[in-house]
Amino acid sequence: MDFSKDLICENLTNRDGVLHFAGQNTADLAAQYGTPLYLMDENRIRQQVAVYRDTLRECFGDKGHALYASKACAFKRMYAIMAEEGISVDVVSAGEIASAHAAGFPMENVYFHSNNKTDFDIAYAMDCGVGTFVVDHPEELAAIDAIAAEKGVVQPVILRITPGIDCHTYEAVNTGKVDSKFGSAIVTGDASRIVKQALDAANVKLCGFHCHIGSQVFDSSVYIATVDVMVDFLAEMKKTFGYSAEKLDIGGGYGVRYVATDPVIDIAASIREVAQQMQVRVAEAGIEMPHIYMEPGRSIVADAGLTLYTVGAVKKIEGYKNYVSVDGGMTDNPRFALYGSEYTVLPATRLEDERDMVADVVGRCCESGDIIQPDVALPADMARGELLAVLTTGAYNYSMASNYNRIPRPPVVMLRDGESYVAVRRETLEDILALDK
Ligand SMILES: *Cc1c(COP(=O)(O)O)cnc(C)c1O
C-alpha cells in the first residue's frame, strides 16, 4: 500500500517505515524526550516567516510588513525566533506580552489585539513599551486614552474595522460578519465614529486600520474583497476627516494542510495577487499607499509541528467500534473537541504496514468528547506501547493546552539542523500543585 500521500508537508519522510520529521527519527525523539511530545521544526518556521516577509517586501518595498500572530503558538523561544527573523508580532494578553518581553523581543514591534483589554492589560502593555494597540471599540479607546494621559504618554493605535466580509462565501456583503464580536463595523457607521473619537483623543495617535476576516482561507479572493472594502474606507476617511492612514493591516488567515485532501496553497503567489489589487485600488482611489501588514499565525507554525503519543490501549468492541487510547488528548489538542477539526494520524514506526482497522483515536480525559480524531486507519494488531504521530499540530495546540484532569502539559522540543532542544519543558506534578494553597 502507498501511504506517501499522508506525508502532507515536505518536512515529513518515511525511512524504512519510520516517520522522520525535519530529518529526525520520531521514535528516537520519543525515546529521548518521552510522550506525549510536541515537536517543532524550527527551519520550517523560519522558512514560512521568510515567505511572508520577503514577498511583502518584494511587493511593497519598505512598506510591506509581516507580523506573526503569536496566539497560534507562543512561548519565549518563539518570540526570539521572530525577533531574529526581523518581523513584528501580535499579542492578545498580558501573558503574551510578558513572554515577548522576557524573550527580549523589541516591544516597539508588538501589536496588542484583543476585544477586551482590561485596565491592567492596558497599563501593563504601556509599561512594557508595546508599540501599537489595535483598538476594538469606543470604550476601550477611551480607557487607553485615559490611562495614557495618566502616564503622560501618547499611545500609537490602529483601529480594528469590520469590513463586512463573509469569509465562507468570500464575498463582500453588507451583513456578513458585521455581527462579529470584534471591531467596529463600517456599514453601521461605528467605524467612522471611532475614527472621529481617535482623532479627537489627546493621548492616542491614530496610525491606521486593521481587519481580520477569518481563518483556514485557501483563496486570494477573500483578501481581494478585503482590500476593495478597506481602500474605499481609507478614501472615505480621507474625504470625511482629511485623515490619511499610515498603516493598513489586512489580517491573517491563510490555510494549512491537515489532511491530504486539503489544497496546497502558494502563499507568495496569493500575496502578489492581493498586492496587485492593492496597487490598482489605491491608485484609483487617489490615496497614498499605506504601510501594508499581514499577520499570519497558523500558516507560520502549523505544519512545523507534530505531536507524538504512546498508545495505552486498543479496545475493540466487536460489532461496534474500535478505540485507540493515547497518553494525551484534548488537554494537548482540543481542536477536534472544539471544532471537529481534521487531522492526519499515522502509526509512526509502521508507515508501510497494512492499515486494516478503523478506530477512533481518543485521549485519556474523563470526557467522551476527548477525541483526537475519529475513523483513523491503523494496523489491526496495533498494541499498547506503540507510537502514533499526529501531523500539523504546531498551531493552536500547545497554545490551547489545558490541565483538565490535572494532566501535565507536554514539552515543546525544537528540531533544528539535525539537532533538538527543549524550548518548553514538560510540566511536572509539582507544577500542577504549585498554585494550590
Ligand atoms: C487569529 C488571528 C490572526 C491569525 O490567524 P491565522 O488563521 O492563525 O493566520 C491574525 N489576526 C487576528 C486579529 C487574529 O485574531
Question: What CATH number is given to the structural domain containing 183?
Answer: 3.20.20.10
pLDDT per residue as tens digits for the range 42-99: 999 999 999 999 999 999 999 999 999 999 999 999 999 999 999 999 999 999 999 9
SS3 at position 386 = coil
Task: Give the position, in ligand 1's atom list, of the atom nearest the Cα of 72.
Answer: 8
As given in the structure block, the three cell numbers for residue 84 are: 531574529
| Strands ordered across the beta sheet of 18-21 | 12-15, 18-21, 24-25
As given in the structure block, the three cell numbers for residue 82 are: 521572530
> Do 282 and 323 fall within a single domain?
no
Give the pLDDT confidence score for residue 168 in this predicted structure.
Answer: 65
Domain boundary among 264, 296, 328: 296
pLDDT band at 307 (very low <50, low <70, confident <90, very high): very high
Task: Give the position, in ligand 1's atom list, of the atom nearest the Cα of 298.
Answer: 8
Give a yes or no: residue 404 inside a domain: yes
Cis peptide before 410 (omega within 30 of 0): no
Q: How many domains does the chain have?
A: 2
4 vs 196: which has the higher pLDDT: 196
Task: Give the position, in ligand 1's atom list, of the atom nearest the Cα of 395.
Answer: 8
Give a yes or no: residue 384 inside a domain: yes
Give a yes or no: residue 84 inside a domain: no
Give a yes or no: residue 221 inside a domain: yes
Give the pLDDT confidence score for residue 205 in this predicted structure.
Answer: 98
Which of these is catalytic: 9, 167, 207, 366?
Answer: 366
Q: Is-catalytic flag, 366? A: yes
- The residues facing 131 across adjacent strands are none
Within 212-304, residue ranges assigned H as helices are: 221-241, 267-285, 298-301
> Do 277 and 316 fall within a single domain?
no
> Do 214 and 138 fall within a single domain?
yes
Report the relative pairing of strands 165-166 and 171-172 from DSSP bridges.
Answer: antiparallel
284 vs 4: which has the higher pLDDT: 284
The percentage of residues in the chain with a pLDDT greater than 90, rounded to a whole number, is 92
- The residues facing 106 across adjacent strands are none
Q: What angle do CA 125, 130, 131 make, to 5 degrees?
A: 145
> Do 153 and 264 fall within a single domain?
yes
> Do 271 and 257 fall within a single domain?
yes
Around Cβ 116, how many Cβ atoms within 10 Å?
11
Mutate to test the pocket of ligand 1, among 49, 51, 71 (most ligand atoms within 8 A of CB): 71
Give the pLDDT confidence score for residue 174 in this predicted structure.
Answer: 44
Q: What is the mean pLDDT of residues 406-432?
A: 98
Whether residue 155 has its Cβ less than 6 Å from ligand 1: no
Q: Measure 213 CA to ligand 1 centroid, in angstroms.
A: 9
> Do 150 and 282 fall within a single domain?
yes
Give a yes or no: residue 215 inside a domain: yes
Q: What angle do CA 409, 411, 415 make, to 5 degrees?
A: 150
pLDDT at 169 over 60: no
pLDDT band at 303 (very low <50, low <70, confident <90, very high): very high
Give nearest CA residue, ligand 1 atom 3. 252
Give a yes or no: residue 82 inside a domain: no
Q: Measured between alpha carbons, how far is 266 from 380 in angstroms, rounded to an integer? A: 37
Secondary structure element (H or E) that encloses residue 102, with its range = helix 94-102
Q: Measured between alpha carbons, how far is 164 from 222 in angstroms, rounded to an integer? A: 11
Give a yes or no: residue 86 inside a domain: no
Q: What amino acid occupies position 2?
A: D
As given in the structure block, the three cell numbers for residue 122 are: 492596558
Q: Measured between alpha carbons, how far is 142 from 351 in angstroms, rounded to an integer? A: 58
> Do 238 and 353 fall within a single domain?
no
pLDDT per residue as tens digits for the range 108-155: 999 999 999 999 999 999 999 999 999 999 999 999 999 999 999 999
Burial 219-242 (b: 16+ CB within 10 A, else e): ebbbbbbbbbbbbbbbbbbbeeee
Give nearest CA residue, ligand 1 atom 13. 212
Q: Measure 127 CA to ligand 1 centroid, in angstroms.
A: 25
Give a yes or no: residue 58 inside a domain: no
pLDDT per residue as tens digits for the range 239-261: 999 999 999 999 999 999 999 99
Give the pLDDT confidence score for residue 173 in this predicted structure.
Answer: 46
| CATH number of the domain enclosing 388 | 2.40.37.10
- The pTM for the full model equals 0.96
Mean pLDDT of the chain: 95
> Do 160 and 278 fall within a single domain?
yes
Q: Measure 422 CA to ligand 1 centroid, in angstroms.
A: 26
pLDDT per residue as tens digits for the range 27-45: 999 999 999 999 999 999 9
As given in the structure block, the three cell numbers for residue 300 are: 507560520
Domain boundary among 233, 265, 296: 296
> Do 292 and 334 fall within a single domain?
no
As given in the structure block, the three cell numbers for residue 171 are: 464575498
pLDDT at 225 over 60: yes
As given in the structure block, the three cell numbers for residue 17 are: 517505515
Residue 253 makes CB contacts below 8 A (sequence gap 6+) with 167, 212, 213, 214, 215, 216, 217, 222, 296, 298
> Do 117 and 257 fall within a single domain?
yes
CA distances from 104 to 229, 232, 308, 412 (A): 37, 38, 30, 20
What's 4's DSSP letter? G
As given in the structure block, the three cell numbers for residue 283 are: 491608485
Whether residue 257 has its Cβ less than 6 Å from ligand 1: no
| Helix-helix angle 42-60:76-85, to 10 degrees | 40
> Do 269 and 352 fall within a single domain?
no
Q: Measured between alpha carbons, how far is 363 from 285 in angstroms, rounded to an integer? A: 54
314 vs 215: which has the higher pLDDT: 314
pLDDT band at 176 (very low <50, low <70, confident <90, very high): very low
183 vs 269: which has the higher pLDDT: 269
Of the candidates 4, 9, 97, the residue with the CA atom closest to the CA atom of residue 48: 9
Whether residue 298 has its Cβ less than 6 Å from ligand 1: yes
Give the pLDDT confidence score for residue 182 in this predicted structure.
Answer: 85
> Do 137 and 277 fall within a single domain?
yes
Q: Measured between alpha carbons, how far is 202 from 215 in angstroms, rounded to an integer? A: 35
Domain boundary among 241, 271, 296: 296
Burial 367-404 (b: 16+ CB within 10 A, else e): eeebbbbeebbbeeebeeebbbbbbbbbbbbbbbbeee
pLDDT at 208 over 90: yes
Range of the domain at 333: 4-41+302-433
pLDDT band at 175 (very low <50, low <70, confident <90, very high): very low
Contact call for residues 159 and 195 (beta carbons, < 8 A): yes
